[in-house]
Each structure stands twice: as structure tokens, then as C-alpha cells.
Amino acid sequence: MKFLTWATDPWGKAVPIHAAWDLIWVALIAGLLFMIVHALYVAIAAGPKVFAKNEAPAAAAAAVPERVPRHSLAARLFHWVMAASMLTLLFTAFLPMVGVRFNWVLYHWIAGLVLTVSILFHVIHSTFFMDFWSIWPDRIDVRDAMRRTFRFLGKPAPAPQRFAKYPLENKLYHLVIVFAGLAVIGTGLFMMKRIQTIFFIRNPYIFSDMTWGLMYVLHGLAGVGLIALVMVHVYMGVRPEKLPITKSMIFGWMSKDFYLEEHDPERWAVEKSSTAKKRGYAASDAD
Amino acid sequence: MAIIRDVMPAFDLLQPSTSADAQKLLEQCGDDAWVMAGGMDSFDWLKDRIKKPKVVVDLSGIDELKGIRVTGDGVEIGAMTTLTEIANHAEIRKNYGVLSQAVSLVASPQIRNQGTLGGNVSQDVRCWYYRDGWPCYRAGGNICYADTPVGRNREHAIFGADRCVAVHPSDSVPALIALDAKFVLQTPKGERTVDAEDYFVGPDMDITKINMLQPGDLLTAIRIPSTWAGSRFYFEKVRDRNVWDFPLMNVASAIMLSGNTIGRMRIAVNAVSPRPMRLKAVEDAVQGKPADATTGEMAGKMAVEGAVPLQFNAYKIPLMRNLVKRAIAGVPSQQA
């Protein structure tokens, strides 16, 4: 199977023009396979989660409120706006490829701008108003990932610690989404120069045909990759054991029990604040 | 202009003798098939080696697709009827003169002898960047060479452009829209009839297609109802060379007059947009008004609302304004 579609430009040079759209099916199948394999693994092979014995001291546990705040309203709004724009982008991009006819370009670039603005907001918000480093993998994550791998392979290794605010899987997913998202946004903004919008005078000659071609290829490959990534994300979001995390993205908080079961208070500290106490919430970086 | 290379790429030539066989063959061959009517558009593509179909389905041997039949409610024109036959047909000249006039202005006598109505309405756009085989949006690429600061776009769209700015080049289509014609399609699911204006697809919907035909579909006939028979018709085509050229713009109208008052009207303009434009707002606005210069002036202004000219085709705005005005008010005979 070819990964790229090539064409000959007016000067006789072969230039890539976009990713091969058969990759849509590859992404769909890859996403589907991941779900099936993961579901089978969890149902058949995976044992109960085992963490190192580092439960919070009774006094510290008592200080944890019944509702542990995880995502502020701003963070949740960002997430759902981004999700809506991402789904719009994927559907408007790929439905026409499978024969559904509609005026997709208009909706696509509008959704792209919504995504861009929401991500700009997220970057500023997470940098200055949240615990910026909480979403990036750290040394403990790497060490615990190795421990879990060894234990899965039956080799002796200490049990991993409980998670910080985000499990390593969340952090890695975020990392991949950052790259894929920046690729589609960066290329997409330039591609707006090639269509009629209210923002630019159309001019395809700001780059060479080869540069444009590579840009379209990168946009397409990242877009196709996002199909699988979004499928996996939605699947994880509806898995029973992940529902408390999903609910926290809707309501903003997770239960004390789930927090103490999965998260390490030393790595993600929460405590009742004076105002939060009145609402039965705790103060954390999400406040 | 493209260089005609004379030697066409190899393809399987299928020559069915019935429309049912043709439709079946098209269905079997799917995307690999190329439908050829009179060949006036097809041979350009094939000789330029821009389109390289595996199979060409030649409709010229299907007699049931040829000829004009007067029915109880108008006329039915087979898709393979030549433009010359339509131009000269007594019933069409008498009651549907706008169509007769439109097809008689298509290209040259030789082309009208060979070209068919089905081919004329289904022909591809004439944008030279596209027809030269460059990888533009319409050809499946990611660029429009015509809509750039230096692109040659004098003949291109002022309405409805969406990445591609090529216009629909048919002369017969606005007349058919004005006559409220129905296009009859044979599809894998059976016969389907669509309004003339709905047969065409803009680039916003599908940038690589110009009409709604899907693989396996065949345009078999065009039915013109008697609704507008004997109306006051108007057709005008503006072109660079009067002897033989595609339209820079054309307009067709059918007006039911009561005295000099417009009862009902249908009007369509082509070569201004990637798909032929029926001016519904204008039709509604002029109803009940006198068919005079004042109404024409108002209609012309209304018709060009929202036009977006490209670098070299702003002239199309006053041209369209005036053509619409003339289609309503008529012109003194010495100017026509």
C-alpha cells in the first residue's frame, strides 16, 4: 500500500500532494484492534492492580475531602470544547472521503480555529494557573512503568507506587496528542492560506509545491493518526474502571475512595481549603 | 491550451446497444468506466492523456437514447440527441424556443452535428489549469492554480467558488433550467428523475465532480414539461469569438406575461459559478412587476449581490447585471 499520493507539478517535478486516504481504514482497524486486545487483556489476563504499601497515614487520609477536585471548570470547558472541535474536524475531514457529500471545508476550518483558540487558552491556563508539570511523565512514572513491565513478564520487581494526579497512560496519551495536535494545527493554519476565508487573501505561492505537499502529507498523517487516538480515548473513557476519571472530567471531582485507591497523596496532595470546605470540596491545583 | 497528442491511451471500448445494457456495464465497471456520448469532451481528455479510463462505454449505438418525442405533457429528448436536431426540431422551435436558440449557439455546426444534449449538460469544466492535467483541487490535488494573485481567471467564477473557481460551461443548461426540465437517470436502483438545477454539483459538495452521476448511473433523457411552452423566452450568450467559443456568460429566461406584467418567471445564468445558477430570488422579486427596464435594473442588481470577483474577472459583475436586465426587459431588436 502506498502511504502518499504523488502528482507532477507544472514544472514537471514529482511532488507529494496528500497522504493516501486508504490509511483511514488502517487507522480505524488499528483503533478497533487496540480496543479488542485491551478488552481481552483486561478480561482474561490482567490481575488486580497492585501498588506499593504507601497508603496515606490515617490522619492525612482523614484530611482528604469526600469529593477530591481534579479538574477546574475552565479545564473541563477546555476539554469538551476541544473534544467537540476535534470530532467536528475528524468527521468533516473524513466523511467526504467515504462518499458523504456536504460543504465540509467551511465547517472544517471553523472547527480548526476553535481548536486552535482552545489550545492556546489551554497552554496559557495550564502554564500559569495549573500545576504545569502534573501532565508530563517524571522519573517515578518511568521507574514504575518498568516495574509494572517486569512484573507482567513474571520477573521480580517491587510493586509500583500509586499514581500522581495523572496515570502514566494519561500522560503518554497527552504527549502523543500534543504532537499530533500541533502538527494538524500548524499545517492547518498555513493551509487556510489556500482556501477562501475571511482572514486571508488566497495565495498558494508562499511556499514551494514540495513544501506544501509535505505540509498536506503531515496534516493528513496526523489527522489519520488522530482517528485511532480519539477512538482509543473514547474507549478508555467508557471503560468501567476508568469511569471515575471520566466523571471527574464532567463534574470536576472524584471520590475520596477512588483517590486513595489509585493516587498517592504524596505525589498529588489535596487538602480542604476554607472556602472549599464549605462546599465539601478540597483545595488543589484544580481549584 | 493542451497539446493534443493524438494517440489515446489504451482502453476497452464497450458499445452497448440498449440503455439497460449500458447502465449494467457502467455498474459493473464502476469508477473504471468513462461514459462517452458525442465524444466532444471525451476525446480532448483522452487525446491529451489526462484521463486514462480502463473502459470507455460508447453510447452512440443506443438508438433508444436518440430522438425527440412529443408527449402529452411536453417533450422528451433522448440524451444522445444531437444539438443540431434539437435546434431544428419544429416543436422545440415553436414552443421551447429558448432551448433551440441556446443549442444553436453551442460551438460550431460540426460540433453541434456530433455533440449531444446529454454530453453538453454533462461536460466537464474548461479551466485550462485543470484540463492541462495539473494537480489542482478538481483533479484530486491540493491547489487551485486559477485563484492565485497571478492566476489567469478571466473566465472563472464570481459565485459559488469553494477552492475550485472553474465555471460550468454549458449553453443548453440555463435554457433547460428556465424550462423547468427534468433529467432522467437510470441508476442501479432504478429510474430517477431530478430537476435540472439539482443535477449539478458544486465543489463545496464534491470538488472532483460536476454533476450528481455516480458510477453506474446513466443520463438517458431530458423531459421538458409544457408548463412554460410558448412563454416569452430570452437567451443571450456572450463569448470572445462569436464564431465558436464557450460562453463568458449566458442567460436564459422564461416569462409568463399578463399584458406587460410578469406573472411567473424562471431565469438561470451559467459560466458564473461552478454549477449553473437559477436566480430564485430574482424570480420571486419580479413577480407582479412590469417587464420593463426598471424591473430589469432592479433584478440585475439583485442578481449580482454576493458576487466575489477574482483578479481578472470583475467585468462579469456588470455583465451579469446587464444580461439579467435584458432577460427581463428585453432589448431593442437592433441590439439583440
pLDDT tens per residue across span B74-116 = 999 999 999 999 999 999 999 999 999 999 999 999 999 999 9
| Interface touch B142/A8, C-beta < 8 Å | no
| Interface touch A203/B148, C-beta < 8 Å | yes
**Chain A neighbors of B139, CB-CB under 8 A:** 7
| Interface touch A15/B161, C-beta < 8 Å | no
Chain B residues whose C-beta is within 8 A of a chain A C-beta are 132-135, 139-145, 147-150, 161-163, 201, 204-206, 308
| Interface touch B204/A103, C-beta < 8 Å | yes
Candidates A272, A227, A264; CA nearest to A34 is A227
Residue of A nearest to B161 (CA): A196
Minimal CA separation from B145 to chain A, in Å: 8
The three-state secondary structure class of A117 is helix
Residues contacting A128, CB < 8 A, separation 6+: none
Residues contacting A208, CB < 8 A, separation 6+: none
Of A101, A105, A204, the CB nearest to B143: A204
Q: Where are the beta strands (DSSP E) in B6-108?
A: 12-14, 33-36, 55-58, 68-71, 74-78
Of A18, A103, A203, the CB nearest to B149: A203
Q: Which helix (H) or strand (E) holds A190?
A: helix A168-191
Residue B145 binned pLDDT confidence (cut-offs 50, 70, 90): very high
Residue B34 in contact with residue B57, Cβ under 8 Å? yes
Candidates A57, A249, A60; CA nearest to A170 is A249
With cell 486516504, the residue in question is A21
Residue of B nearest to A11 (CA): B134
Exposed, middle or buried, A47 (CB in 10 Å: 0-12/13-18/19+)?
A: exposed
Q: What is the pLDDT of residues B34-59, one digit of tens each?
A: 999 999 999 999 998 899 999 999 99
The three-state secondary structure class of B336 is coil
Burial A218-243 (b: 16+ CB within 10 A, else e): bbbbbbbbbbbbbbbbebbeeeeeee
Of A7, A96, A195, the CB nearest to B141: A7
Of A105, A201, A216, the CB nearest to B204: A105
Candidates B196, B186, B184; CA nearest to B218 is B186
The three-state secondary structure class of B256 is strand
Does the predicted model carry a pTM greater than 0.80?
Answer: yes
* Most distant CA atoms of chain B, gap in Å: 60
pLDDT in single tens digits along all 287 residues of chain A: 678 999 988 888 899 999 998 999 999 999 999 999 999 999 998 877 888 766 666 767 778 889 999 999 999 999 999 999 999 999 999 999 888 989 999 999 999 999 999 999 999 999 998 888 899 999 999 999 999 899 888 888 898 988 999 999 999 999 999 999 999 999 999 999 988 888 888 888 889 989 999 999 999 999 999 999 999 999 999 999 999 999 999 999 999 999 988 888 888 888 665 444 444 444 444 33
| Interface touch A5/B143, C-beta < 8 Å | no
